[in-house]
Structure 1
Amino acid sequence: MPRTASGRSVERSLPAEAAGGVYREITEIGASVLHRRCADVTEFGTEVLSRLLRDMFFTMHVAHGVGLAANQIGVDLRLFVYDCPGEQGERHIGHLLNPELCSTSDGSLITRKEGCLSVPGAARELARSADVTVQGQNWQGNPVTLSGTGLFARCLQHETDHTDGILYVDRLTPEERHHTLTQRDDHRAAALAERAERARSMAGG
């Protein structure tokens, strides 16, 4: 999920979780891995998993994201990473494996523009629960419970959706989806060019 609807934001420092990571190409809408429920993570604490998480954090930052799911870089596993600002200016940084949305507080919704790194150059207003709780595991297999409000709540819902094979455009009306994909067609090339330039620049830095 992009940091803002436009994809532009104040530059954040790379978190320690991205150290040693490399950029991986982001899959786009239409790729089969984005449109099916991903496989559960069953092997924990491995070097392969550690490397995957580092690469995901790095790739997310290259693309100005606040969240990124594994299937967005073509890996069929139920996990995501996040680096998302909170309501009070705090910075939520972490990852979650095998996420399951377990509660919302009172059913209240907030509508705001939402985009997706796998639908580059587009954004559309979408109602999401104002606050949520998601349960899962960390990369070592230990249980984790995450609760969020505002943008962080939206990020948790958006990324959990990804692990279930759902894109935010799937939650739009047919007309809204059509307009969103038209917007993507108009702005995709510029968004991808910026992403490629950042990948080169950040790899060199």
Structure 2
Amino acid sequence: MATLEIRKYPDEVLKKKAELVNDIDGDLQKFIDNMIETMYNSNGIGLAAPQVGVSKRVIIVDTSPRQENQSLIVLINPEIINSEGEVLSEEGCLSLPGFITRLKRNERVFVKGLDRKGKPIEIEATGLLARALQHEIDHLDGILLIDRISPLKRELFRRKYLKAKK
């Protein structure tokens, strides 16, 4: 396995809608293993393929360090099929290091997709898992955390972030 480079804002791959996965083969399995290693090495609880430069609809989520009775989830071509409620909570992103904001997300989500073997899977999630699934699926649609904040906060972030990068 190998640790992959996490792409950071304003990398263009983060703004593109990811492509559907059509072939679940050995190359995809190796890529998923590398994503898992990268997420754990970065102390993340989720990672989407575009965050490591691959525009494919693949996410991994593991909230077990912060939420009991959870384990690693691999989803291929995930989509939110239903959602309920609303909750405000803090959120960060590996592609926006050091940036944390409070965001409204759905309290409960119903997600369907394929597991890493290509079998259909449906997940009903609340709490941190629901938030993480929504966050990672946003990445597949080219939506970043900063796209969900007010235009004023976004501009302040952009200026501060780009200045710090220089």
1:113 corresponds to 2:93: no
Contact in 1 for aligned 2:16/2:142 (Cα 8 Å): yes
Match of 1:149 among 114, 117, 126: 126
TM-score computed with the length of structure 2 as normaliser? 0.91
Contact in 1 for aligned 2:67/2:128 (Cα 8 Å): no
Q: What percentage of residue pairs aligned between the two structures are identical?
A: 34
Q: Structure 2 unaligned runs (5+)?
A: none
1:169 corresponds to 2:146: yes
Q: Structure 1 unaligned runs (5+)?
A: 1-20, 190-205
- Kindly provide the CA deviation profile for residues 59-94 of structure 1, in whole angstroms up to 9, marking residues without a partner as x: 001111000000100011001011113886222311
Q: Secondary structure at the match of 1:111?
A: strand
Q: Secondary structure at the match of 1:50?
A: helix
- 1:190-205 equivalences under 5 Å are none
- 1:4-19 equivalences under 5 Å are none
TM-score computed with the length of structure 1 as normaliser? 0.75
Cα distance in 1 between the residues matched to 2:49 and 2:7 = 10
Counterpart of 1:89 in structure 2 is 68
Cα distance in 2 between the residues matched to 1:85 and 1:77 = 25
Cα distance in 2 between the residues matched to 1:86 and 1:59 = 16
Match of 1:51 among 30, 44, 56: 30
- Match for 1:164: what amino acid? D
Cα distance in 1 between the residues matched to 2:105 and 2:91 = 10
- Kindly provide the CA deviation profile for residues 141-170 of structure 1, in whole angstroms up to 9, marking residues without a partner as x: 211111211111000000011111111110
1:38 corresponds to 2:15: no
Equivalenced residues, count: 166
Cα distance in 2 between the residues matched to 1:121 and 1:185 = 13
- Kindly provide the CA deviation profile for residues 112-159 of structure 1, in whole angstroms up to 9, marking residues without a partner as x: 111111111111111001110111112222111112111110000000
After TM superposition, give the deviation of residue 97 of structure 1 in Å.
0.6
Runs of 4+ residues deviating >4 angstroms = 182-189
Q: Secondary structure at the match of 1:91?
A: coil
Contact in 1 for aligned 2:75/2:114 (Cα 8 Å): yes
Question: Residues 187 and 145 (structure 1 numbering): CA distance in 2 closer, same or farther, change over 3 Å?
Answer: farther
Cα distance in 2 between the residues matched to 1:76 and 1:88 = 29
Counterpart of 2:107 in structure 1 is 130
Cα distance in 2 between the residues matched to 1:80 and 1:178 = 28
Question: Residues 42 and 73 (structure 1 numbering): CA distance in 2 closer, same or farther, change over 3 Å?
Answer: same
Cα distance in 2 between the residues matched to 1:31 and 1:91 = 31
- Match for 1:32: what amino acid? E
Cα distance in 2 between the residues matched to 1:51 and 1:139 = 11
Cα distance in 2 between the residues matched to 1:39 and 1:130 = 27
- Match for 2:106: what amino acid? S
- Match for 2:71: what amino acid? H
Alignment RMSD (CA, Å): 2.0
